[in-house]
Structure 1
Amino acid sequence: MIKSDVIKPALLLGPLVLFLGLAYLVPFLGIMQWSVTLPEPGIGQYGRAVSDPLIQSVFLRTFRICAIVTVCAVVAAYVITYVWVRGTPFQRLATELCILIPFWISVLTRAFGWVALLSNRGLLNTWFQSMGLISEPLTMVRNEFGVILGMTHFVIPFAVFPIASAMRSLDERVFLAARGMGASRTRIFWSIFVPMTKAGILGAGLMVFVFSLGFFVTPAILGGGRSVMVAELIYLRIFQSPDWGLGASVSVILMLIVGVLLILMMRFVRPKALGG
């Protein structure tokens, strides 16, 4: 007989599994069907997606931007988390507000906020010119710089939580022992603190990179069509070309890449360690 302590969790998880299947698996299976049936049956669309120089360049651009965003976001999140976890009570409160407030603002609002700040007639260029620092406006939007800045700003809060979990799980006695043996604060930080939070750093990097692969609104607004990423390419192929088969095949390839990345990271980073 199956024990009741096994049946009860299964019953509780049943509705969640059903919802995830209906909301994600069924639509994805439909996308897979499009990729091998439109405009005609076969895997020709995957051949186009792999051999097309334009699609290859979009994938390379996406990986490059996501890698840069991941590094910038994790570094910034590490500094912010350090203050949040080990700062004074006032510093912790102020940092916590800075982390939580972005979740209350939509991605669209934040993207247009960056446009107002970085455009040729935006606040920064106007201020720089009024101060005499520049004679011509700096081009900070409709390029990769604006996309990277906007994406980094959006994903920093998501990178904070795995790092915070890792920092809060540290044993303070280790640092006391290192201080007792004469280690400086800098030596303790780089030789003990950072290595002990490596799991949180890897978890944050994984989360940010995978999350960044599917960005659409921020690159579309801040890139201005000049820094097209994979998600925007899929949108263009399905809603504007229209080339549903090719757009569906690119979607499936992107999902497979995300799945492989998750498997590889789970192979080297234990799931428990991702949370610290």
Structure 2
Amino acid sequence: MTSTVTRDAVSASPPAGAEAPRRRRRPRGTWLLLLAPALAFDAVLFLTPLGKLVEASTHGDAYQRVLKDPLVSRSLLNTFEISALSTLATVVLGYLLAVVIWRRGPLARVILFALVLLPFWTGVLVKNFAWAVLLQDNGLVNAALQGLGITDAPLALLHNRFAVVLGMVHYLLPYAVFPIFAALAAIDDRLELAARSLGRARCRSSAGSFCP
């Protein structure tokens, strides 16, 4: 029985000099044909109007008049200032929070990660209303400051640059925490211990191990 199965398998196998059957390949331009309707739709409804808009804006002194407008100049300056402040505050707070999470145990990490992810689980309007409730004249922050005797009157914490930067940092903080935490998790824990064993202070050993 075994010899019969072996002979059948040998007879079914292709000869030694025969070539294996080749898979049929698709023409190289097939993907382009499939993509052509989407490209045509995009070109007609988006690229063509955009090109006409750019062409119309180059005639005359439209850009000069816009840049010389004090309202536009002030708006651009405010945008750059708020962006710089938000980025700096987000990076600093994100680094500190990532270090705190990295030094904690598994359970504390889960809790802290959940708190960091909380802005992703709430809508923008909900977050705005929450900050408005906290920062208004009779809100929790002003009530706490007056109760502790730090201020005698409510502070103007809404409708200013401070509120805008605070909201931006609250929204962007997870985008800074997770990449920094991933970089810290890749660092060997023994580097800090080695720095301390060589006589370096704890703060300097941490800064020398993590900041680079």
TM-score, scaled relative to structure 1: 0.56
In structure 1, stretches of 5+ residues that fail to align are: 196-276
Distance in 1 (CA, whole Å) between partners of 2:200 and 2:48 is 57
**Deviations along 1:159-179, whole A, 9 cap, x unmatched?**
112211211221334334323
Distance in 1 (CA, whole Å) between partners of 2:50 and 2:96 is 41
State the partner residue of 1:141.
158
The structure with the greater share of residues assigned to helix is 1
- Equivalences for residues 44-123 of structure 1 within 5 A: 44-123=61-140
User: Residue 56 of structure 2: which of 19, 25, 37 is its match?
Assistant: 37
User: Residue 188 of structure 2: which of 171, 188, 207 is its match?
Assistant: 171
Kindly, what percent of the aligned residue pairs are identical?
34
Change beyond 3 A, Cα 1:31–1:56: farther
Distance in 2 (CA, whole Å) between partners of 1:80 and 1:29 is 47
Code of the residue aligned with 1:180 in structure 2: it is S
Secondary structure of 2:211's partner? helix
**Deviations along 1:173-215, whole A, 9 cap, x unmatched?**
43343233222221111222111xxxxxxxxxxxxxxxxxxxx
Secondary structure of 2:75's partner? helix
Root-mean-square deviation over aligned CA pairs: 3.0
Distance in 1 (CA, whole Å) between partners of 2:193 and 2:51 is 56
1:109 CA drift (Å): 1.3
Answer whether contact 2:192 2:206 (CA < 8 A) is retained. no
Answer whether contact 1:119 1:140 (CA < 8 A) is retained. yes
Q: Whose relative contact order is higher, 1 or 2, with alpha carbons under 8 Å and at least 6 apart?
A: 1
* Total equivalences in the alignment: 177
- 1:156 and 2:170 matched: no
Answer whether contact 1:35 1:43 (CA < 8 A) is retained. no
- Equivalences for residues 141-220 of structure 1 within 5 A: 141-195=158-212
**Deviations along 1:36-65, whole A, 9 cap, x unmatched?**
437xx7263322222222211111111111
Bigger Cα Rg: 2
Code of the residue aligned with 1:192 in structure 2: it is S
Secondary structure of 1:162's partner? helix
Change beyond 3 A, Cα 1:141–1:91: same
User: Residue 141 of structure 2: which of 109, 112, 124 is its match?
Assistant: 124
Answer whether contact 2:66 2:72 (CA < 8 A) is retained. yes
In the TM superposition, structure 1's runs of 4+ consecutive aligned residues that sit over 6 Å from their partners are none
Distance in 2 (CA, whole Å) between partners of 1:125 and 1:33 is 52
Distance in 2 (CA, whole Å) between partners of 1:97 and 1:148 is 23
